[in-house]
Structures are given as structure tokens and as C-alpha cells.
């Protein structure tokens, strides 16, 4: 099973259960709007429904899992088999807060990718990167080409600030650091905050650099395709 992001739910029934869900079908690999009708509730723990893909008629199961400890917490929606296509980046809400238009451009690029419109997806993503760089840079550098904009971000954006903001929290007198002196004062909320903080640091310091390095290596090792002009020239010589 796979978690379905709440942004994929287009409409809900009066009880809050999803009525329309937009996903890339795991069977035909095309984007479709699924319409589960009969949700079957199981002791306030689970709700299950099925819906056929309107494009290929392949059946998909949706499952809502409720938090038995917190009635106010929204249920988590799952799909089985897992949906195909790329999901939106985790934390997309922060991008939307930074710039709603940039958020929409990024989402459009992902949607085009999931529609197998590779060229349009790549061009839209390039526009997004250019817009993001311009949003983060000073006004005097917003006319630079994209490659130089990205170079300028190193000086314009304080990449050390996240670590500088976190360090005081873990100091002996910090909001979390002082708790280590007495384990009994550490409740679930504090432990959860420390886990989230640690996971963020791992993503920032380890996962992100490694992921970007792997992606760059794949790009560097990929064969360079012939341009259309080169193909025409080769054919004319033949």
C-alpha cells in the first residue's frame, strides 16, 4: 500500500471520506480521477472502498486508517496497488507558502511528467528553477542566466542558518538540551520534536547531498543524444 497525499483528494462526502481522488493509475499508468462510492467502516479504525479506473477499468482499493488515540486527527489515505508516477516533494506546503505561483508551476511540471510529456515537463521544471532562484536572490542578480543564478545562491542564501538556529536548542540550557539532565521530564512531545529535528538534520546533511551527487553522476554518465541538426547532417552525408 501507498500513502495518498491529501492534495490528491478533489472532493469529499459529507462525512469527510474521499469522493474523488486524482492519481496515476497503477494499471494503465495514466492520470485518472477515481470515484469510490461505497465506503465500508470497520469499528472506527478503518474504512475501505474500491473504485475502477475510468480509463482502463482496473480495480483499485482505497483504505482510510483512523488514529484511535486522537479523534481529531485526520485519517491517513492509502491506495493498493501503489499509484504510479512521481509524487509531490515532501513539504510542498512550504513551497506554496514561499510562492503560490511557484508551487503551481512545480505541480504542473510533475503533472506533465506523470502524463509522459517529457519535453513539456522538463521545460516547465526549468521555468520553475529559474523562478525559484529569482525569488531567493536579490534584485540585482535576477537577470542572470539560470546557471549563474544557482551559483549566486551560494552567497545570497544563508545555507548555514538552519544549523545555527538548531544548535542553541541542543545546548545544555536549550529548550531540548536541558531535558537530557533528567530523563523523567522527557515526554512524548519532546521525544517527537527531537526525532523530527534529527530526521531533518539527516536529510539536510546526509540524504540531500548524497541524492544530488547520485543524480549528477547519472546525468554525467548518460549518453548525449544527437541534436536534430546533427541527425539531418548525418542523413544528408549518407
pLDDT at 121: 93
Average pLDDT score over residue span 184-202 = 90
What's the chain's average pLDDT?
A: 87
Task: Tell which phi-psi region holds residue 57, choosing left (phi > 0), alpha (psi between -120 and 50) or beta.
Answer: left
In this predicted structure, the answer to whether residue 179 has a pLDDT above a threshold of 70 is yes
Which uninterrupted H or E stretch holds 40? Answer: strand 40-42
SS3 147: helix
| Residue 234: band (very low, low, confident or very high) from pLDDT cuts 50, 70, 90 | very low
Mean of the pLDDT values across residues 217-228? 78
Residue 130 confidence class, pLDDT cut points 50, 70, 90: very high
Would you say 58 and 81 are in contact if contact means Cβ atoms under 8 Å apart?
no
Measure the CA–CA gap between 181 and 43, rounded to whole angstroms: 43
Sequence spans of domains, the chain: 2-80, 86-157, 159-219
Distances (CA, A) of 236 to 225, 226, 228, 233: 18, 15, 12, 5
Amino acid at each position: 500500500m501507498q500513502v495518498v497525499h491529501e492534495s490528491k483528494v478533489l472532493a469529499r462526502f459529507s462525512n469527510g471520506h474521499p469522493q474523488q481522488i486524482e492519481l496515476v493509475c497503477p494499471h494503465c499508468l495514466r492520470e485518472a480521477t477515481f470515484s469510490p462510492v461505497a465506503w465500508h467502516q470497520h469499528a472506527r479504525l478503518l474504512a475501505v472502498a474500491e473504485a475502477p479506473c475510468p480509463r482502463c477499468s482496473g480495480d483499485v482499493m482505497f483504505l482510510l486508517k483512523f488514529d484511535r488515540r486522537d479523534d481529531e486527527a485526520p485519517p491517513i489515505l492509502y491506495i493498493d496497488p501503489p499509484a504510479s508516477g512521481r509524487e509531490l516533494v515532501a513539504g510542498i506546503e512550504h513551497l506554496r507558502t514561499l510562492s503560490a505561483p511557484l508551487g503551481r508551476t512545480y505541480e504542473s511540471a510533475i503533472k506533465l511528467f506523470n502524463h509522459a510529456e517529457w519535453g513539456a515537463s522538463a521545460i516547465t521544471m526549468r521555468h520553475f528553477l529559474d523562478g525559484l532562484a529569482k525569488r531567493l536572490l536579490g534584485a540585482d542578480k535576477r537577470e542572470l542566466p539560470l546557471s549563474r543564478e544557482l551559483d549566486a545562491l551560494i552567497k545570497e542564501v544563508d545555507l548555514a542558518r538552519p544549523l545555527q538556529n538548531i544548535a542553541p536548542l541542543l545546548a545544555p540550557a536549550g529548550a531540548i538540551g536541558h531535558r537530557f539532565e533528567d530523563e523523567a521530564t522527557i515526554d512524548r512531545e519532546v521525544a517527537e520534536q527531537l526525532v523530527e529535528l534529527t530526521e531533518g538534520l539527516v536529510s539536510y546533511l546526509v540524504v540531500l547531498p548524497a541524492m544530488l551527487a547520485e543524480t549528477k553522476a547519472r546525468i554525467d554518465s548518460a549518453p548525449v543524444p544527437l541534436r536534430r541538426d546533427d541527425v539531418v547532417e548525418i542523413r544528408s552525408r549518407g
